[in-house]
Amino acid sequence: MTTDIKDTARAVDAASLMGLLSTRPRLLALGEPTHGEDTLLELRNELFRQLVEREGYRTIAIESDCLMGLVLDDYVTTGTGTLDEAVQHGISHGWDAYPANRELVRWMRAYNDGRPPAERVRFAGFDGPLEITAAASPRQALLALHGYLSARVDADLLPCTAETLGRLLGPDARWTDPAAMRDPARSVGRSAEARELRLLADDLVALLDQERPHLVSVSAPDDWDRARLYGRTATGLLRYHHWMADASPARITRLVSVRDEMMARNLLALAARGPVLVHAHNSHLQRARSTIRMDGKPVQWWGAGALVSAELGDEYAFVATALGTIRHRGVDTPPPDTLEGLLYALPEDRCVIDAPRLAARFGDARPAPRVSPWFGYAPLDPARLADVDGMVFVRDLPPGGAV
């Protein structure tokens, strides 16, 4: 079987990835099956450099807080602040500690130095301001949206004052209480104040749309884009907190669905300004329904990639990453009858695979699914290979990551 699949493998570079696609996608999504491995982040960095220099890509979006990402984008485009400040305050989930993420930011700033605005590369986080154990207060997004509007439209059109928003929000600790993730009764998401905030946020976003002809005429493009980001984030966070307060069996499904919907809306907005390389976990970017187990029960939802693909069609492309070993995590040589096992037998340490062609080669005789001994690594499902536009295979991951 290994001999039969050799002709589906190519060198790992931007040209090989683009050669798998019928057109240059507006969103080229590169997934990873595990987080926190610098080898994969370094590979992402090199592919992004090649896509910028050879294919005209100008934005990279990673699975990080969309509001924090504005700080980092300011640094790489204009030099605002320092590298240390930009990395520390511009990347969430603790991923600022990974050397490869720091190197990406350093390269982007160096690339932009002296270039006109239209040629500069941009950075974006496309995740909501969410962590596994908590969600942010909607304060930053709501007040920023209100501030943008109050500076540009008649005060009589605003549904409320900033002081009203502040009163309804109360202390941020009410919103960020980690206990609310496990105990719906601890969440403020269905309080009277939260319900009023949802209505006001909806009215503020509606005003943004209603006044668009005027607003775009008096705003710099980045200011307009950020106002819309604040609106998406405010309404998304309030919806997320609403479902944190839910005690029904669908609670977790609702939460992961809201998160990925926020991701998808951010990606669609980024796609409107030019081709984007997106980097995140495979589960967020795949076209098929995503599945995880929480508290021993399966949870299924449509991820950001599935939602974006339904909107963009061929202008969305998904390249999954598959791995052979992560020995420092207990993931040893894959069984030879699995997809990863067949790829592991190839002579290359890393390669790009024509996934649809490989799926056609397998036909009904699919490889066995691999079972991971470590919860932090998700093998590819051979049954979904035909839904993947391409695949990057990395044979072995050496130890390395945050320092």
Residues 6+ apart with CB under 8 A from 222: none
Residues 6+ apart with CB under 8 A from 251: 184, 243, 244
Give the start-to-end residue ranges of the domains of the chain: 6-132+263-396, 135-250
As given in the structure block, the two tokens for residue 205 are 């976003």
Strands (DSSP E) contained in 173-315 are 276-281, 290-294, 297-301
The sheet with strand 59-65 has its strands ordered as 9-10, 350-353, 390-396, 316-325, 27-32, 276-281, 59-65, 122-127
**Identity (one letter) of the amino acid at 153?**
V
CB 145 within 8 A of CB 234: yes
Predicted confidence at residue 3, as pLDDT, reads 44
Q: Which residues of the chain have pLDDT under 50?
A: 2-3, 403
pTM of the shown model? 0.96
Q: Token match 């490989």: residue?
A: 358
What is the SS3 string spanning 337-393? CEHHHHHHCCCCCEEEECHHHHHHHHCCCCCECCCCCCCCCCCCCHHHHHHCCEEEE
Residues 6+ apart with CB under 8 A from 321: 30, 31, 32, 33, 40, 282, 391, 392, 393, 394
Q: Classify residue 244 as exposed, middle or buried by CB count within 10 Å of its CB (0-12, 13-18, 19+).
A: buried
CA distance 57 to 148: 29
Q: Tell me the CATH class for 6-132+263-396.
A: alpha beta
Predicted confidence at residue 76, as pLDDT, reads 98
CA distance 320 to 384: 11
Predicted confidence at residue 297, as pLDDT, reads 86
Predicted confidence at residue 400, as pLDDT, reads 67
CA distance 106 to 14: 21
Predicted confidence at residue 401, as pLDDT, reads 56
Tens digit of pLDDT for each residue in 281-333? 999 999 999 998 887 889 999 999 999 999 999 999 999 999 999 999 999 99
